[in-house]
């Protein structure tokens, strides 16, 4: 098991099918002519990061001339000869004049195509960044949108600023009895467990963050830290880096009171029963009844582990 190369399907929010055509962003004439083309399509994102859907299952994209909402225009990319834009709205009632078919990425993730997922994930990430980063970090002046929505430029000192992506590690830890470690944040309801996760600190590698976070959160040591897959998590600005790791030494869990409400070791069968039937398993240290949603990389790590041959 220790030498196995872990693999998972492409995580849901990592799916994408468009070309980002970054070389066009700095060409306003090209971008304007694409906007004037009636075959282009526009994803309008409300202030609440929701988008119009067809019966909640696919995106309802507009033609440029149909867009009446005020907001930042972003060049998302191109696919099969169609150019895609987003218009990011920040003000007003989140869904004023909009109906119930407006939903956000969290609600839509499991039903969208790869093309729709890639467009909506980028639009959601950019909106969250523009909303929170309106001023120059050097001089405090209000910055202006540049590069067709992919950067902001300070009109005073000319500095250019790019969307933030904060790396976070998320790790499935195994013990030598073929069990995996699942834990519950105090923010989650009892019985709903997941793998451990945490932000990478300044000046730290992702692998070191895995070892540190496991130590801090449940008081055990791990080795054999292996990268598996990543996916953006634009709520608001994370990139989740998925790992597996093996527990070493004393595997008695000592949960950190502030971050972990309960933690335990669970067999594949126990985890599978919780996933498939919502069946409960209680151990000395944890009760498992439910897993994270299928759009999460946490769930992908767990599903892949269940599917592995022990």
- Is the alpha carbon torsion for 239, 242, 248, 251 positive or negative? positive
Q: In terms of CB distance, is 139 or 282 closer to Zn ion? A: 139
- Distance (Å, rounded) from C-alpha 230 to C-alpha 303? 15
Min separation Cβ 138 and Zn ion, Å: 4
Q: In terms of CB distance, is 159 or 185 closer to Zn ion? A: 159
Min separation Cβ 144 and Zn ion, Å: 11
Q: In terms of CB distance, is 6 or 163 closer to Zn ion? A: 163
- Distance (Å, rounded) from C-alpha 207 to C-alpha 285? 27
Q: Which of 208, 33, 9, 10 lies closest to 117 in space, CA to CA?
A: 10
Min separation Cβ 150 and Zn ion, Å: 18
Q: In terms of CB distance, is 139 or 307 closer to Zn ion? A: 139
Using CB under 5 A, list all residues that contact Zn ion.
136, 138-139, 141, 154, 156-157
Chain centroid to CA 299: 12
Min separation Cβ 145 and Zn ion, Å: 15
Min separation Cβ 147 and Zn ion, Å: 17
What does the DSSP assignment read for 41-89?
EEEEE-TTSEEEEETTTEE-PBPGGG----SEEEEEEEETTEEEEEEE-
- Distance (Å, rounded) from C-alpha 182 to C-alpha 78? 41
Min separation Cβ 153 and Zn ion, Å: 9
Q: In terms of CB distance, is 161 or 272 closer to Zn ion? A: 161
What are the residue ranges of helices labelled H in the chain? 28-35, 105-108, 114-132, 206-218, 268-277, 297-307
Q: Enter the DSSP assignment of 20.
A: -
Q: In terms of CB distance, is 142 or 307 closer to Zn ion? A: 142
């Amino acid at each position: 098991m220790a030498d196995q190369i872990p693999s998972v399907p492409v995580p849901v929010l990592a799916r994408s099918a468009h070309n980002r055509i970054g070389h066009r962003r700095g060409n306003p004439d090209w971008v304007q002519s694409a906007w004037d083309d009636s075959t282009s399509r526009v994803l309008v994102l409300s202030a609440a990061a929701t988008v119009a859907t067809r019966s909640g299952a696919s995106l309802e994209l507009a033609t440029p001339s149909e867009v009446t909402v005020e907001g930042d225009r972003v060049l998302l990319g191109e696919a099969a000869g169609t150019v895609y834009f987003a218009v990011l709205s920040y003000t007003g009632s989140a869904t004023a004049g909009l109906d119930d078919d407006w939903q956000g990425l969290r609600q839509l993730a499991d039903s969208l195509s790869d093309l729709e997922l890639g467009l909506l994930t980028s639009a959601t990430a950019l909106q969250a960044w523009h909303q929170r980063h309106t001023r120059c970090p050097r001089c405090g002046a209000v910055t202006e949108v540049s590069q067709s929505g992919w950067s902001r430029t300070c009109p005073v000192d000319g500095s250019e600023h790019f969307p933030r992506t904060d790396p976070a590690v998320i790790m499935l830890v195994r013990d030598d009895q073929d069990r995996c470690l699942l834990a519950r944040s105090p923010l989650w309801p009892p019985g709903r467990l997941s793998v451990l996760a945490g932000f990478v600190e300044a000046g730290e590698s992702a692998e070191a963050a895995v070892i540190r976070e496991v130590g801090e959160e449940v008081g055990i040591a791990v080795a054999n830290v292996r990268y598996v897959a990543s996916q953006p998590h634009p709520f608001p600005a994370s990139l989740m880096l998925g790992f597996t790791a093996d527990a070493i030494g004393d595997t008695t869990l000592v949960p950190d009171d502030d971050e972990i409400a309960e933690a335990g070791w669970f067999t594949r069968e126990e985890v599978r029963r919780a996933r498939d039937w919502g069946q409960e398993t209680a151990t000395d240290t944890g009760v498992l009844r439910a897993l994270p949603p299928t759009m999460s990389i946490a769930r992908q790590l767990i599903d892949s582990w269940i599917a592995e041959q022990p």
